[in-house]
Chain A
Amino acid sequence: MKKITKLIFLFFLITLFRPISSNASNNEINVYLFYGRECPLCLELKDVLDEIKEDYPNLKVHKYEVWYNAENRNYMNEAATILDTKVTGVPFTVIGTKVFNGYSSFARKGELKHTIEIYSKVASYKDPVGEMLGVVKNSGTLTYEDIVKASDDGESHIFEVPLAGPVAAKDLSLPIISILIGAIDGFNPCAMWVLFFLISVLIGMKDRKKMWILGSTFILTSAIIYLLFMLLWLNVITFVGSLKWFKILIALIALIGGTLNVRSFIKSKDTGCTVVDETKRKSIFTKIKKITTEKKLSLSIIGIIVLAVTVNFIEVSCSAGLPVIFMSILSMNDLSVLEYSFYMFLYILFFLIDDLIIFIIAMVTLKLTGISNKYAKYSHLIGGILMIIIGILLIFKPEWLTFNF
C-alpha cells in the first residue's frame, strides 16, 4: 500500500507544478506597430511584444518605421483615419480596431496582453488596417467592443446593484478584494503594540496639539511605507509578472502564508497579546519616550518618522505576503495608473482603519480602548483560508483572478 500512496503523492506534486496553460487559440492575431527608429518607448514596446509572443505564438507583429519612411507615415495616418482617431505620437499600435497611442510600460503591458487575450477568443475579427496594408484580405466583422460584449465573462459582466445601479464585474470585485485583504492584513498585530504604546505615552503628555501631530505622523508614515512597499512589488511584477515561474512563486507564497496563518489560528489556545522580545520592547520604549519629551516639535516629528519606518519594516515582513498577493491580483487585471492608485489607496485605508479608529478615539477621549485580540485571531483564519484559495486559483485557474478578462 505504501508504494501507491507515494506514487499518488508524487503525481499530485507533478500536476501541482504543471505549467499554467495559456489560453492562446490558433487564430492569427496581427499587430501593426508604427514606430520611430530611435524612439526609446518603441524599443521597449517591441521587447514587450516579443515577450507576449512567448505566450501567444499566433501573434504576428508588423513593423512600420515612420520617422524616416514617408510611405509608412502615410499608412499610419490612414490607419488613424480609418479608425477615426488621431496619432498623438509613436509608438502607434493597432490590433484589430483597438488603438494604442504611445506607450507607458507601467500599465500598458497589461492592457496589451489583455487585448490579445480578447482577440484570441474569436476565430476572426475586424481588421480594417490589415486590409488597408494588404496583410489580410476581407477580415471578420467583430470589433474589439463586440468581442468584449459577446464574451460571457468580459467587461459586459454587469451586476444590477441597488442604489449604485449597473456595476461592471471589474468595478465590484477589485474594490471588495482591496477592502477585504487590506482589512485582514490590518488586523495583523505585528506592529500594533508600538502604536498602542505611543498613544499611551501621548495621552500622558496632556499637550493635545503635539499628540495629534505625532500620532498622525506615525500613522501617515506607516501608510507611505506600505505604499512604497506595494509600488516596489508592482515594479517587480511588471518585469517578471508574466513569467510562469513567478506565478508559481506567488502561488507558493500564498499557499505557505495561508497555511501558516491557519496553523497559527489553530495553535493559539489563548486569546491575548503576544509578548514581543524584551530588549526590542525596551529599545522602542526609550525611543518613544525620548521623542515625545523632545522640546523641539520638528525633532519629535523626525523621530516619529524614523520610528514608524523601522517599525513598519517589521510589519511588512510579518504580514505573511498578503500585500504581495494583492499586488499580483491587481497586476493580472488590466488597470490604468489611476485605477492602480485607487485600489492601493483603498487597501492601505482599510489596512490602517483599526489604527485610525484607535488613535482618534484615544485622542478624543484621552483613554486607550483596546480591541479584543480574537479579531486578530480570526483575521489569521480568514486571511489564511483566503490566501490558500488564491494560491490554488493562481495555479489552476489564474483567469478567475482577472475580473475584466
Chain B
Amino acid sequence: MKFRIYRYNPEIDAAPRMQNYELNVEPTGKMLLDALVLLKEQDDSLSLRKSCREGVCGSDAMNINGRNGLACITPLSTLKEPVELRPLPGLPVIRDLIVDMTQFFKQYHSIKPYLINNDPPPETERVQSPAQRAHLNGLYECILCGCCTTACPSFWWNPDKFVGPAGLLQAYRFIADTRDQATSERLDDLEDPYRLFRCHTIMNCVDVCPKELNPTEAIGRIKDLMIKRMV
C-alpha cells in the first residue's frame, strides 16, 4: 500500500514535508495503526502517539485522507491510496503526527470538568434513577481525542476563546447530571459571545467523532437552557 505522511522534525526540517512510503501489507482485518507500526519498523523516526489500540484512550487521533479519526479503529481496507496522513488540524505541530494539545485541554479544564455538589456526602451512594442516569449517555463516553474540536472551523478561528465541541460536550455532561448543583454557574460561565455561541452548527464534530457522540446536540441543549432561564 502507498502512504503519504506529513513529516516535520523541528531539529532538522525548515518546513514540513510530505513523505511517501510503501508497505507490503494485506489490508484485510488490519487497522491503520497496524500499518503505522510496520512503517515505524522501517523508519524509526516516524513519530506518532499510540496506546490502547482499541479506540478508548484517544492517543492516535490524526487526519486520515482529509478526515479526523483514530488510526487504531480505522480499517486499512476502507482507505483510498495513497493514504494521506496529517496531524490534527488547528493545533501546533510538535513533530510529524504529534500535535501540542495544550489549548485543547485548557478549554476542557475551563468548563470545570468535575461534579460540583456542596451537600455533605451521604453514607452510601447518592441515588439517581436509571432515567436520570440515562441523560449522561452519549456524554460521559468522550475520550478527549480531540478529533471533533480540531475539525471545527470556529475553534480554528478562536482556539483561545471558543471552548470547542469536546469541552462543551463535557460542560453539558455535568449540567445533565442530577447530582451536580452548579448548573446556573456553568451557564453563566458559557454566556459569552465566544465560549459557547461561536458554535455555528457546522456539525463537523458529529461527523468525525470516533465514538459517535453528538456535541452539536449537547450545545443545542445548553442554548435551550439559557433561553429557558431568560424567559
A binds B: no
* Chain B positions near chain A (C-beta within 8 angstroms): none
* Chain A positions near chain B (C-beta within 8 angstroms): none
